[in-house]
Chain A
Protein backbone atom coordinates (compact mmCIF):
# COMPACT_ATOMS: atom_id res chain seq x y z
CA UNK A 1 0.00 0.00 0.00
CA UNK A 2 2.74 2.38 1.02
CA UNK A 3 4.60 1.70 -2.22
CA UNK A 4 1.46 2.25 -4.28
CA UNK A 5 0.81 5.48 -2.42
CA UNK A 6 4.26 6.81 -3.24
CA UNK A 7 3.94 5.76 -6.86
CA UNK A 8 0.45 7.14 -7.52
CA UNK A 9 0.30 10.07 -5.11
CA UNK A 10 1.09 12.63 -7.79
CA UNK A 11 -1.57 11.23 -10.09
CA UNK A 12 -4.25 11.86 -7.50
CA UNK A 13 -4.36 8.87 -5.23
CA UNK A 14 -5.39 9.27 -1.63
CA UNK A 15 -5.25 6.48 0.88
CA UNK A 16 -7.06 6.61 4.17
CA UNK A 17 -6.20 3.98 6.72
CA UNK A 18 -8.84 3.16 9.27
CA UNK A 19 -7.70 1.08 12.19
CA UNK A 20 -10.65 -0.88 13.49
CA UNK A 21 -8.97 -2.14 16.67
CA UNK A 22 -11.10 -0.67 19.41
CA UNK A 23 -8.79 -0.21 22.38
CA UNK A 24 -5.19 -0.59 21.37
CA UNK A 25 -4.16 2.78 20.11
CA UNK A 26 -0.52 2.41 21.21
CA UNK A 27 -0.15 -0.75 19.07
CA UNK A 28 -1.63 1.00 16.09
CA UNK A 29 0.65 3.96 16.48
CA UNK A 30 3.66 1.69 16.76
CA UNK A 31 2.55 -0.15 13.64
CA UNK A 32 2.28 3.07 11.67
CA UNK A 33 5.68 4.14 12.88
CA UNK A 34 7.37 0.83 12.23
CA UNK A 35 6.07 0.56 8.67
CA UNK A 36 6.78 4.26 8.08
CA UNK A 37 3.30 4.88 6.70
CA UNK A 38 2.97 8.32 5.22
CA UNK A 39 -0.67 8.28 4.22
CA UNK A 40 -3.30 9.45 6.72
CA UNK A 41 -4.13 6.80 9.27
CA UNK A 42 -6.66 7.12 12.03
CA UNK A 43 -8.57 5.20 14.57
CA UNK A 44 -12.28 4.54 14.29
CA UNK A 45 -12.71 4.84 18.05
CA UNK A 46 -16.49 4.92 18.08
CA UNK A 47 -16.89 2.21 15.43
CA UNK A 48 -19.01 4.64 13.44
CA UNK A 49 -17.17 4.26 10.15
CA UNK A 50 -17.07 0.48 10.53
CA UNK A 51 -20.84 0.30 10.82
CA UNK A 52 -21.30 2.93 8.10
CA UNK A 53 -19.40 0.70 5.69
CA UNK A 54 -20.62 -2.52 7.29
CA UNK A 55 -17.07 -3.81 7.66
CA UNK A 56 -17.10 -7.37 8.89
CA UNK A 57 -13.58 -8.54 8.16
CA UNK A 58 -10.12 -7.03 7.87
CA UNK A 59 -8.68 -5.99 5.64
CA UNK A 60 -11.58 -4.50 3.75
CA UNK A 61 -10.59 -2.21 0.91
CA UNK A 62 -13.03 0.36 -0.45
CA UNK A 63 -12.34 2.26 -3.66
CA UNK A 64 -14.00 5.63 -4.12
CA UNK A 65 -13.60 7.35 -7.49
CA UNK A 66 -12.90 11.02 -8.15
CA UNK A 67 -16.60 11.90 -8.05
CA UNK A 68 -17.04 10.35 -4.61
CA UNK A 69 -18.76 7.26 -5.93
CA UNK A 70 -18.04 3.88 -4.36
CA UNK A 71 -16.56 1.76 -7.14
CA UNK A 72 -15.37 -1.38 -5.40
CA UNK A 73 -15.59 -3.16 -2.13
CA UNK A 74 -12.95 -5.79 -1.65
CA UNK A 75 -12.62 -8.04 1.36
CA UNK A 76 -9.12 -9.44 1.77
CA UNK A 77 -5.66 -8.36 0.72
CA UNK A 78 -4.94 -7.03 -2.73
CA UNK A 79 -1.69 -8.08 -4.33
CA UNK A 80 0.55 -5.41 -5.82
CA UNK A 81 -0.42 -6.21 -9.44
CA UNK A 82 -4.12 -6.26 -8.49
CA UNK A 83 -3.74 -2.89 -6.85
CA UNK A 84 -1.76 -1.43 -9.76
CA UNK A 85 -4.34 -2.63 -12.26
CA UNK A 86 -7.10 -0.80 -10.35
CA UNK A 87 -5.04 2.37 -9.91
CA UNK A 88 -4.18 2.49 -13.60
CA UNK A 89 -7.81 1.99 -14.60
CA UNK A 90 -9.27 4.52 -12.19
CA UNK A 91 -6.61 7.22 -12.45
CA UNK A 92 -6.80 7.50 -16.21
Chain B
Protein backbone atom coordinates (compact mmCIF):
# COMPACT_ATOMS: atom_id res chain seq x y z
CA UNK B 1 0.00 0.00 0.00
CA UNK B 2 2.83 2.34 0.89
CA UNK B 3 4.40 1.61 -2.51
CA UNK B 4 1.21 2.42 -4.36
CA UNK B 5 0.99 5.76 -2.56
CA UNK B 6 4.59 6.60 -3.49
CA UNK B 7 3.86 5.79 -7.15
CA UNK B 8 0.72 7.97 -7.09
CA UNK B 9 2.68 10.80 -5.44
CA UNK B 10 5.37 10.62 -8.11
CA UNK B 11 2.81 10.36 -10.89
CA UNK B 12 1.08 13.49 -9.56
CA UNK B 13 4.31 15.44 -9.70
CA UNK B 14 5.16 14.13 -13.18
CA UNK B 15 1.72 15.02 -14.60
CA UNK B 16 2.00 18.52 -13.05
CA UNK B 17 5.41 19.02 -14.65
CA UNK B 18 4.24 17.77 -18.05
CA UNK B 19 1.20 20.05 -17.75
CA UNK B 20 3.39 23.06 -17.00
CA UNK B 21 5.66 22.28 -19.94
CA UNK B 22 2.63 21.82 -22.17
CA UNK B 23 1.25 25.26 -21.31
CA UNK B 24 4.72 26.79 -21.55
CA UNK B 25 5.19 25.32 -25.04
CA UNK B 26 1.90 26.81 -26.15
CA UNK B 27 2.87 30.20 -24.70
CA UNK B 28 6.15 30.18 -26.62
CA UNK B 29 4.40 29.04 -29.79
CA UNK B 30 1.75 31.73 -29.42
CA UNK B 31 4.55 34.27 -29.17
CA UNK B 32 5.58 33.17 -32.66
CA UNK B 33 1.93 33.18 -33.73
CA UNK B 34 1.71 29.42 -33.88
CA UNK B 35 -0.25 26.95 -31.79
CA UNK B 36 -0.23 23.33 -30.68
CA UNK B 37 -3.83 23.20 -31.68
CA UNK B 38 -4.77 23.57 -35.33
CA UNK B 39 -8.51 23.49 -34.67
CA UNK B 40 -10.67 26.53 -35.32
CA UNK B 41 -11.80 26.40 -31.70
CA UNK B 42 -8.54 27.80 -30.34
CA UNK B 43 -8.59 30.85 -32.58
CA UNK B 44 -12.20 31.42 -31.63
CA UNK B 45 -11.45 31.16 -27.94
CA UNK B 46 -8.55 33.62 -28.32
CA UNK B 47 -10.97 36.13 -29.83
CA UNK B 48 -13.38 35.80 -26.94
CA UNK B 49 -10.81 36.42 -24.22
CA UNK B 50 -10.66 40.02 -23.04
CA UNK B 51 -6.88 40.29 -23.09
CA UNK B 52 -6.37 37.62 -25.74
CA UNK B 53 -5.64 33.99 -25.01
CA UNK B 54 -2.29 34.86 -23.38
CA UNK B 55 -4.13 35.79 -20.18
CA UNK B 56 -5.73 32.35 -19.99
CA UNK B 57 -2.42 30.68 -20.83
CA UNK B 58 -0.74 32.61 -18.03
CA UNK B 59 -3.38 31.49 -15.54
CA UNK B 60 -2.87 27.89 -16.66
CA UNK B 61 0.90 28.23 -16.34
CA UNK B 62 0.69 29.75 -12.85
CA UNK B 63 -1.80 27.08 -11.77
CA UNK B 64 0.43 24.20 -12.86
CA UNK B 65 3.53 25.86 -11.39
CA UNK B 66 1.75 26.35 -8.07
CA UNK B 67 0.71 22.71 -8.11
CA UNK B 68 4.34 21.63 -8.55
CA UNK B 69 5.54 24.01 -5.86
CA UNK B 70 2.89 22.94 -3.34
CA UNK B 71 3.44 19.23 -4.09
CA UNK B 72 7.20 19.52 -3.51
CA UNK B 73 6.66 21.65 -0.40
CA UNK B 74 4.19 19.16 1.03
CA UNK B 75 6.70 16.32 0.78
CA UNK B 76 9.47 18.33 2.45
CA UNK B 77 7.69 20.58 4.91
CA UNK B 78 4.16 20.68 6.24
CA UNK B 79 2.34 17.85 4.47
CA UNK B 80 -1.15 18.82 5.66
CA UNK B 81 -1.01 22.54 4.94
CA UNK B 82 0.50 22.29 1.46
CA UNK B 83 -1.72 19.31 0.68
CA UNK B 84 -4.70 21.55 1.42
CA UNK B 85 -3.35 24.16 -1.03
CA UNK B 86 -3.03 21.51 -3.72
CA UNK B 87 -6.65 20.48 -3.13
CA UNK B 88 -7.81 24.09 -3.19
CA UNK B 89 -6.05 24.80 -6.49
CA UNK B 90 -7.51 21.65 -8.03
CA UNK B 91 -11.06 22.39 -6.86
CA UNK B 92 -10.93 25.92 -8.30
CA UNK B 93 -9.34 24.59 -11.52
CA UNK B 94 -12.05 21.97 -11.92
CA UNK B 95 -14.77 24.62 -11.59
CA UNK B 96 -12.97 26.82 -14.16
CA UNK B 97 -12.52 23.86 -16.51
CA UNK B 98 -16.27 23.30 -16.24
CA UNK B 99 -16.71 26.79 -17.64
CA UNK B 100 -14.13 26.38 -20.43
CA UNK B 101 -15.66 23.07 -21.49
CA UNK B 102 -19.17 24.50 -21.34
CA UNK B 103 -18.15 27.61 -23.29
CA UNK B 104 -16.72 25.49 -26.09
CA UNK B 105 -19.58 23.02 -26.12
CA UNK B 106 -22.49 25.46 -25.96
CA UNK B 107 -21.16 28.83 -27.11
CA UNK B 108 -18.54 28.46 -29.83
CA UNK B 109 -19.64 24.89 -30.64
CA UNK B 110 -16.06 24.04 -31.60
CA UNK B 111 -13.49 22.16 -29.57
CA UNK B 112 -10.04 23.56 -28.84
CA UNK B 113 -7.57 20.69 -28.62
CA UNK B 114 -5.22 22.61 -26.37
CA UNK B 115 -7.96 23.46 -23.87
CA UNK B 116 -9.20 19.88 -23.87
CA UNK B 117 -5.69 18.60 -23.16
CA UNK B 118 -5.36 20.95 -20.22
CA UNK B 119 -8.80 19.76 -19.14
CA UNK B 120 -7.50 16.17 -19.26
CA UNK B 121 -4.42 17.16 -17.20
CA UNK B 122 -6.53 18.76 -14.47
CA UNK B 123 -8.96 15.82 -14.37
CA UNK B 124 -6.07 13.31 -14.22
CA UNK B 125 -4.41 15.24 -11.39
CA UNK B 126 -7.70 15.40 -9.50
CA UNK B 127 -8.29 11.68 -9.92
CA UNK B 128 -4.75 10.97 -8.66
CA UNK B 129 -5.50 13.20 -5.72
CA UNK B 130 -8.65 11.19 -5.02
CA UNK B 131 -6.51 8.05 -5.14
CA UNK B 132 -4.33 9.63 -2.49
CA UNK B 133 -7.42 9.68 -0.30
CA UNK B 134 -8.18 13.40 -0.63
CA UNK B 135 -11.97 13.18 -0.64
CA UNK B 136 -12.60 16.94 -0.83
CA UNK B 137 -11.62 16.89 -4.50
CA UNK B 138 -15.14 15.56 -5.10
CA UNK B 139 -16.32 19.14 -4.43
CA UNK B 140 -14.26 20.22 -7.46
CA UNK B 141 -15.95 17.66 -9.70
CA UNK B 142 -19.36 18.73 -8.40
CA UNK B 143 -18.51 22.40 -9.09
CA UNK B 144 -17.32 21.46 -12.59
CA UNK B 145 -20.59 19.65 -13.32
CA UNK B 146 -22.56 22.60 -11.97
CA UNK B 147 -20.77 25.25 -14.01
CA UNK B 148 -20.87 23.07 -17.14
CA UNK B 149 -24.64 22.56 -16.78
CA UNK B 150 -25.21 26.29 -16.26
CA UNK B 151 -23.41 26.99 -19.56
CA UNK B 152 -26.02 24.79 -21.19
CA UNK B 153 -28.96 26.12 -19.23
CA UNK B 154 -28.31 29.86 -19.55
CA UNK B 155 -28.82 31.15 -23.07
CA UNK B 156 -26.45 33.69 -24.60
CA UNK B 157 -27.74 37.26 -24.82
CA UNK B 158 -27.92 37.08 -28.62
CA UNK B 159 -30.26 34.15 -28.43
CA UNK B 160 -33.47 34.61 -30.35
CA UNK B 161 -35.51 32.54 -27.94
CA UNK B 162 -38.28 34.73 -26.66
CA UNK B 163 -38.78 34.60 -22.95
CA UNK B 164 -42.16 35.82 -21.73
CA UNK B 165 -42.06 39.55 -21.06
CA UNK B 166 -38.53 40.08 -22.33
CA UNK B 167 -37.94 41.22 -25.88
CA UNK B 168 -35.59 38.95 -27.80
CA UNK B 169 -32.67 40.52 -29.61
CA UNK B 170 -33.02 39.83 -33.35
CA UNK B 171 -30.18 37.57 -34.42
CA UNK B 172 -27.54 38.52 -36.94
CA UNK B 173 -27.96 36.46 -40.10
CA UNK B 174 -31.73 36.22 -39.69
CA UNK B 175 -34.29 38.34 -41.59
CA UNK B 176 -34.62 41.75 -39.94
CA UNK B 177 -38.00 42.22 -38.20
CA UNK B 178 -40.49 44.09 -40.38
CA UNK B 179 -41.86 47.45 -39.20
CA UNK B 180 -43.74 50.54 -40.30
CA UNK B 181 -42.59 54.03 -39.43
CA UNK B 182 -44.38 57.31 -39.80
CA UNK B 183 -41.86 59.93 -40.84
CA UNK B 184 -41.78 63.50 -39.67
CA UNK B 185 -42.89 64.41 -43.15
CA UNK B 186 -46.09 62.47 -42.53
CA UNK B 187 -45.17 59.84 -45.07
CA UNK B 188 -45.27 56.17 -44.04
CA UNK B 189 -42.43 53.79 -44.79
CA UNK B 190 -41.99 50.08 -44.18
CA UNK B 191 -38.73 48.18 -44.00
CA UNK B 192 -39.80 45.97 -46.90
CA UNK B 193 -39.96 49.07 -49.16
CA UNK B 194 -36.16 49.08 -49.01
CA UNK B 195 -35.56 45.51 -50.22
CA UNK B 196 -32.68 45.48 -52.67
CA UNK B 197 -30.93 48.25 -50.80
CA UNK B 198 -28.48 48.24 -47.97
CA UNK B 199 -30.46 49.62 -45.07
CA UNK B 200 -28.93 51.34 -42.08
CA UNK B 201 -31.40 51.78 -39.27
CA UNK B 202 -30.25 54.27 -36.68
CA UNK B 203 -31.93 54.50 -33.33
CA UNK B 204 -31.13 57.70 -31.58
CA UNK B 205 -32.53 60.11 -29.13
CA UNK B 206 -32.93 63.82 -29.78
CA UNK B 207 -34.23 64.64 -26.32
Interface SS of B by simple majority:
loop
Task: Determine how close the nearest CB of chain A comes to the CB of B126; give it in whole angstroms.
Answer: 41
Interface SS of A by simple majority:
mixed
Report B169-207 CB contacts with A as 1/0, cut-off 8 Å: 111111111010111110101011011111111111111
Report A48-61 CB contacts with B as 1/0, cut-off 8 Å: 11111111001111
Q: Which of A14, A18, A49, A53 contacts B198 (CB 8 A)?
A: A14
Report B85-107 CB contacts with A as 1/0, cut-off 8 Å: 00000000000000000000000
Known contacts A29-B184, A51-B167; A68 and B201 CB within 8 A of each other? no
Question: Is A70 a contact partner of B198 (Cβ separation < 8 A)?
Answer: no
Tell me the bound Cα distance from A31 to B169 in angstroms: 28
Tell me the bound Cα distance from A73 to B87 in angstroms: 45
Question: Is A62 a contact partner of B200 (Cβ separation < 8 A)?
Answer: yes
Question: Is A70 a contact partner of B171 (Cβ separation < 8 A)?
Answer: yes
Q: Is B168 located at the chain interface by the 8 A CB criterion?
A: yes
**Hey, which chain B residues are within 8 Å of A68, CB to CB?**
175-176, 191-192, 195
Known contacts A12-B197, A42-B182, A66-B197; A53 and B205 CB within 8 A of each other? no
Question: Is B197 a contact partner of A17 (Cβ separation < 8 A)?
Answer: no
Give me the interface of A with B, judged by CB distance under 8 Å.
Answer: 1, 8, 12-21, 24-25, 27-32, 40-45, 48-55, 58-73, 87, 90-91
